Amino acid sequence: MMNVRVIVTEYGGPETLKIVEEPLRQPLRDEVRVRVQSAGVALADIMRREGKYPGSPPTPFTPGYDAVGIVDDLGEDVLHVQKGDRVAVFYNGTGGYAAYVYAKFDELYPVPAQIDAAAATAIILNYVTAYQMLHRLAGVSAGDRILIHGASGGTGTALLELGRLAGVEMFGTASAAKHDVVTRYGAVPIDYRTEDFVEIVRGMAPEGMDAVFDPIGGNNWERSFRTLGTGGRFVGYGYTSVLGQTDSGGWVNDWTNLATKKMTPEGNPAYLYSSTMLRKERPEWFREDLARVFDLLAEGQINPIIAARIPLREAARAHKLLETSQIAGKIVLITS
């Protein structure tokens, strides 16, 4: 049997994504082989492809945080899963874009059988990220006011949906074409291209925001700081403004400075979220929080937006689509 895998051959654009076919190997001791049904596409995949993500792996590598599939084979001494089990696999940013993947116990999570594979994939990274930023870091409560940047994206819509469940008042930046997505969750849309979100937020909520979630970085972080009220918390979870730029040094400096000081220049608490780092520090949180959002999905309380289901072999097209910022929600790769 053959495996199909996507690799980044060199740092650069979507054209650097290539398909390789190789024989399947037997799982190693304590390892599981999973036949993938769907895999998630994330902006961080693009940043690694461009070599802009701190600690980007050397090429060639296979991108991808998350995948959902069926346990296909077991290595020796594997006791915690059986062939035929439905599982999610979560990696530290590389490995998911493949028809078959290999994983250890700490990378495997049970998936309720009734959940659609693509919907489950849309949950793993984006909704756990949103849940942990809202509740583990920012500690939002009903009635809080929050500002969500990139509100129509995969994590943005997760923040909107989980924020609505939490009973918070929400503002979300997005292009005008996606304002219907933002309003669908009861949030106030702000056109980041034509409107000044600082002025709008101050005008509508002069007390300031209780929490701001900003994946953009650079000057946007600085302006987000100005929207915080007394005791407001800032959460940065990316630096997408570096995409397409030749120099990523600004991101590293900004991220390092904020991580060290843990507060904004105005003295508000500041958190930098990394799913990889938090899962390493508090692995039980990831397992608990993923189970929680899977329960919400199974109960029908959340319904992730799947922007597109694209064949694995067309991963380059998926990256191009994500880079255009013309879609709302999560792109998933389908293996069959």
Verify that 139 and 242 share a domain, yes or no. yes
Q: What is the DSSP letter of 239?
A: -
Q: How far, in Å, CA of 253 to CA of 221, rounded? A: 13
Q: Averaged over 56-77, what is the pLDDT? A: 96
Determine, yes or no, domain membership for 37: yes
User: What are the structure tokens assigned to 190, written together?
Assistant: 């702000």
Verify that 81 and 167 share a domain, yes or no. no
Verify that 45 and 99 share a domain, yes or no. yes
Decide: helix, strand or coil at residue 234: strand
**190, 241, 306, 245: which is closest to 50 by C-alpha?**
245
Domain span at residue 93 reads: 2-111+305-334
Verify that 209 and 313 share a domain, yes or no. no
Number of structural domains in the chain: 2
Verify that 176 and 72 share a domain, yes or no. no
Domain boundary among 277, 294, 321: 277
Verify that 150 and 243 share a domain, yes or no. yes
User: Phi/psi at 290 (nearest 5 deg)?
Assistant: -65, -40
- pLDDT tens figures, 270-305: 999 999 899 999 999 999 999 999 999 999 999 999
- pLDDT tens figures, 52-63: 887 889 999 999
User: What are the structure tokens assigned to 222, written together?
Assistant: 């600085």
Cβ atoms within 10 Å of 199's Cβ, excluding its own: 12
> What does the pLDDT read at residue 253?
79
- pLDDT tens figures, 149-162: 999 999 999 999 99
How, if at all, do strands 306-311 and 330-334 pair? parallel
Q: Averaged over 107-134, what is the pLDDT? A: 96
Verify that 194 and 149 share a domain, yes or no. yes
> What does the pLDDT read at residue 273?
95
Q: How confident is the model at residue 238 (pLDDT cuts 50, 70, 90)?
A: confident
- pLDDT tens figures, 11-63: 999 999 999 999 999 999 999 999 999 999 999 999 999 998 878 899 999 99
Cβ atoms within 10 Å of 292's Cβ, excluding its own: 14
- pLDDT tens figures, 172-228: 999 999 999 999 999 999 999 999 999 999 999 999 999 999 999 889 999 999 999
Q: How far, in Å, CA of 57 to CA of 49, rounded? A: 9
User: E strands along the chain, which residues?
Assistant: 2-8, 17-23, 32-41, 66-74, 86-90, 100-103, 108-110, 145-148, 169-174, 188-191, 209-214, 228-236, 270-272, 306-311, 330-334
Verify that 102 and 211 share a domain, yes or no. no
Is it the case that residue 255 has pLDDT exceeding 80? no
Greater confidence, 126 or 251? 126
CA 276 to chain centre: 11
Q: Averaged over 324-331, what is the pLDDT? A: 88
Is it the case that residue 142 has pLDDT exceeding 80? yes
Verify that 105 and 161 share a domain, yes or no. no
Verify that 103 and 132 share a domain, yes or no. no
Is it the case that residue 259 has pLDDT exceeding 60? yes
> What does the pLDDT read at residue 231?
95
Q: Where does 69-170 have alpha helices with state H?
A: 117-131, 154-166
CATH number assigned to the domain comprising residue 44: 3.90.180.10
Verify that 8 and 101 share a domain, yes or no. yes
> What does the pLDDT read at residue 246?
58
CATH number assigned to the domain comprising residue 150: 3.40.50.720
Q: How far, in Å, CA of 115 to CA of 131, rounded? A: 19
User: Cβ(313)–Cβ(5) under 8 Å?
Assistant: no
CA 311 to chain centre: 20
Determine, yes or no, domain membership for 325: yes
> What does the pLDDT read at residue 71?
97
Q: How far, in Å, CA of 273 to CA of 213, rounded? A: 10
> What does the pLDDT read at residue 245?
60
Determine, yes or no, domain membership for 133: yes
Cβ atoms within 10 Å of 209's Cβ, excluding its own: 26
Is it the case that residue 244 has pLDDT exceeding 70? no
Q: How far, in Å, CA of 32 to CA of 89, rounded? A: 10
Q: How far, in Å, CA of 110 to CA of 132, rounded? A: 19
Domain boundary among 229, 258, 277: 277
CA 33 to chain centre: 24
Decide: helix, strand or coil at residue 76: coil
> What does the pLDDT read at residue 263?
95
Q: Averaged over 98-127, what is the pLDDT? A: 95
User: What are the structure tokens assigned to 258, written together?
Assistant: 């904020």
Determine, yes or no, domain membership for 174: yes
Verify that 182 and 101 share a domain, yes or no. no
Q: How confident is the model at residue 332 (pLDDT cuts 50, 70, 90)?
A: very high
Q: How confident is the model at residue 256 (pLDDT cuts 50, 70, 90)?
A: confident
Q: Averaged over 235-248, what is the pLDDT? A: 73
Q: How far, in Å, CA of 119 to CA of 150, rounded? A: 20
Give the mean pLDDT of the chain. Answer: 94
Partner residues linked to 20 by β-bridges: 5
Determine, yes or no, domain membership for 117: no
Cβ atoms within 10 Å of 64's Cβ, excluding its own: 29
